Structure 1
């Protein structure tokens, strides 16, 4: 069978072109978080210090860091700009209602409390007891 008119015959000694390589594990982790959702650290996003300008519109910005066991490591619900340090050992980062998060070289935010969550809860209870005692001393009834 002859070649089609206007079409060159393939040279059997020339190897077929190889396709461009594709990443074996999918796309590389991102350095921005631009939509609500939960992102796996090291897979979806790179660990590091991220900043956001705060909530979208007049809403609130919620974010949460989760540890390997699924426990909440840190979180916030705010109307202010935010900076969060996402550690390589974090399992995931969740965000909702925030403007885009961008990886930055800013220093990590200061720890607001060096206390474990259980101790921080006890400290909060002690503060509330003091406030209720002061309210009672001024003639006001503490909340139920």
Structure 2
């Protein structure tokens, strides 16, 4: 099966955000295959519509689509590990989707099999790539009982 896909609106221009993604993505097994989609122009609604159409066209047929969305499930690391196990067991191509500055179109959210939030804060979309890669790496470590993840939390 193909490696998980990361569909992201916008082009990385180097810098610390791209380095963060590259650092954590290189640790993933297998790493995410990044496919960048062009940012659209127009009104906010038109941008969402155009970028949404590009995302839907780029999704592999039958893919299990995970949309990064502020209104999505906000799991802790252990729950994300359980989710990634379930997604892997689905035996479908896996695609994570990060929208552009105007967010994801309703058509993309309707197509998504799962909506995932990295918290209620708004993050720069280039930074979200690195945060997602780190969270997925941490989830892999949890599943493998690797010491990278420390389960201790203040009570």
Same fold (TM over 0.5): no
Please state which structure has a larger fraction of its residues in strand.
1
Higher relative contact order (CA 8 A, sep 6+): 2
Work out which of the two has the higher radius of gyration on C-alpha atoms and give 1 or 2.
1
* TM-score after normalising by structure 2: 0.23
